[in-house]
Amino acid sequence: MRLHLTFALERTKHFEVSKQFLRQRQEDLERITSKEGVQLRINRSIQAEGAFAMMKADMNFRRFLSRGTANVLVEIMLLAMAYNIQKLHCKI
C-alpha cells in the first residue's frame, strides 16, 4: 500500500506499509471480532474493572509514590498482594 502526500512546494512523500503488517493486522481484526474474541474482551473488561475500582476507591490508590521501573514494580506488587489478602480476609 502506498500513500502519496503532495505539499504546496510540489514535494511528494511516499509512505509504504509492509504487506506482512497488513496481513497481521487483518488476522488480528478477524481474531478479535470472532465470537470467542468478543467474549474474551467482555470478560477481560469485567475482571479488570473490579480490581482497579477496588484499588482506587477502597484502597485509596491514586498514584505511584516512587520513581523508576523497579520501584514502581515493587509498589504494584505490594498493592496486588494487599488486594489478594483483602479478598482472602473477606472470604474467611
Question: What is d(CA 44, CA 28) in angstroms, rounded to the nearest whole number?
Answer: 17
Residues 5-40: tens digit of each pLDDT = 555 556 777 788 889 999 999 999 999 999 999 988
For residue 85, the model assigns a pLDDT of 92
Residue 52 vs residues 47, 60, 65, 77, 80: alpha-carbon distances, Å = 9, 11, 17, 14, 10
Q: How many domains does the chain have?
A: 1
Q: How far is CA 48 from the centre of its chain?
A: 11
> What pTM was estimated for this model as a whole?
0.47
Tens of pLDDT, residues 57-73: 888 888 888 899 999 99
Residue-level pLDDT at 2? 59
pLDDT of 3: 60
Q: Please give the grid coordinates belonging to residue 82.
A: 494487599
Its domain, for residue 45, covers: 2-91
The per-residue pLDDT for 10 is 65
Which amino acid makes up residue 73? L
